[in-house]
Amino acid sequence: MPRTPNTRLALLLEAAGWSPARLAAEIRKVAAEQGLTLTIHPTTARRWLDGTHPRPPVSGLLLECLSRRLGRRITAYDAGLTRAPAVVVDPAWEADPMRKLTQLAQAETDPHRRALLSAGVFTATALALPDHAENRKPSGLLASPRGVGRRAGHHDITQLRAMTTVFAAADQHGGRHIRSALAAYLAHEATPLLHRPADTDVHGGLLSVTAQLALLLGSMYADSGHHATARQYHQIAARLAADADDRTTLAIALRTMATHAHDLGHHTPAVLRLAEQADRYAHRAPPAVRAYTRIHLAVLNAHHDRHAAVAALTGAETLYARTPAEPGPFSSYPAGALHYQRAQALATLGDHAAALTALTTSLRLRTPTEHLPAALTRARLAETHLRLGHLEPALTHWNVFVDTYPTLQSTRADTCLTGAVQCLRPHERSAEVAELLRRIGEFTGTLR
């Protein structure tokens, strides 16, 4: 049947200065950022102009590409589309964070709605904390709930904190296998506490710890490759922390958002600004949190300003030297993680020999419980050794990584495994390399 030409999309492409071929190329590029391999031809984009509608996730990727190019949010209506991914929650910062948290967590436990969580697209254009949120003075906690029923108390905060430690420990093997359990806990245990009558200080404490649980779950989604849902959880955590006037947790949330964007390949001034916001909110936080935000500020500055990156590195190391040994996923910062981030900054600055030293220190300082971080550090060590021409130590680290891989439930680990193949192909005439590629091949055909 004849279709109606999509004039809205045509006008947007004209404003962007893009041809259908350029749109197809940009969609493939954004898809690759999110771990998706899509075949989109210019003829496909021309059919969209003729009135055919792309299906998810391509529709969401199309909207993200145009939003980035035009510097404003492009909706499905703006682009003349009707098959954009369904929205599980309102993405606006102003939307009720407790309602959003309930909707997202319940979607994970509902088989019919769970598919929607993987249909979204990570939107770099929606990363920044709104100016009015950053500039506002602390306005106090959200109003404590009123009504009948059991009052929430300090013992509820203690219970939530204990479960935060439990889920953080379980995440050390990767987030895929544990995220449904944490979503169920948030939906059925944590979020209902926020609606119970409580004293102001108790309600604020519940908001803060729930924000930390949401941060953990967001990172588990990111580690599972569901980046749009991860961003939603990170934003919810930031909003809950802001409403509780908990600037320390807000700083951690903003840093987590900046890290997630950086890991997806976004090194733009907007992401740098997010890292700067995190560092400002951490101004009065404990030294561990200040070192945590400052070191990532160095990582992002390395893409923009060498002097600022070196200054941030020095500042993070100074702060870390003053950090007491304090347990807890949101009160401590592992030394191995600090040196891993140092290596990221140094590699971006072009000093790969110093990055190798930092990664070696990072691996040495990893604790026995840091299973996934240690494995990822080994993979990065192997890549860096090979870049410097050291094939033998690279093979040693990659063999250990492959030994560990079956115990991990992580998209990042999957990416490291496929990355190893790309790095090793030029050396496959070596018997040791050929054997390692054979071992990797046992997994790469059925990546989870």
How far, in Å, are 261, 374, 394, 396 from residue 436 at the CA level? 32, 20, 11, 10
Report cis status (omega within 30 of 0) of the bond before 269.
Answer: no
Residues 212 and 11: their CA atoms lie apart, in Å, by 43
SS3 of 230-257: the string is HHHHHHHHHHHHHHCCCHHHHHHHHHHH
Helix (H) / strand (E) element for 413: namely: helix 411-424
Residues 13 and 341: their CA atoms lie apart, in Å, by 39
Closest by Cα among 17, 53, 4, 61 to 36? 61
Q: Quick check: 378 and 401 in contact, CB under 8 A?
A: yes
Q: Quick check: 402 and 436 in contact, CB under 8 A?
A: yes
149 exposure class (CB count in 10 Å sphere: 0-12, 13-18, 19+): exposed
pTM exceeds cut of 0.75? yes
Q: Quick check: 230 and 221 in contact, CB under 8 A?
A: yes
Closest by Cα among 258, 236, 241, 249 to 104? 236
The radius of gyration of the chain's CA atoms, rounded to the nearest angstrom, is 23
Per-residue pLDDT tens, the chain, 448 aa: give them. 457 889 889 989 998 999 999 999 999 998 888 778 888 999 999 999 998 888 888 988 898 899 888 877 788 878 888 654 445 566 666 778 888 888 888 878 776 666 566 556 666 666 666 655 555 444 444 555 665 568 999 999 999 999 999 999 999 999 888 999 999 999 999 999 998 999 999 999 999 999 999 999 999 999 988 888 899 999 999 999 999 999 999 999 999 999 999 998 888 888 999 999 999 999 999 999 999 999 999 999 999 999 999 999 999 999 999 888 777 889 899 999 999 999 999 999 999 999 999 999 999 999 999 999 999 999 999 999 999 999 999 999 999 999 999 999 999 999 999 999 999 999 999 999 999 999 999 887 655 4
Q: Quick check: 206 and 156 in contact, CB under 8 A?
A: yes
Closest by Cα among 80, 165, 91, 79 to 121? 91
Residue type for position 156: D
Q: Quick check: 177 and 223 in contact, CB under 8 A?
A: no
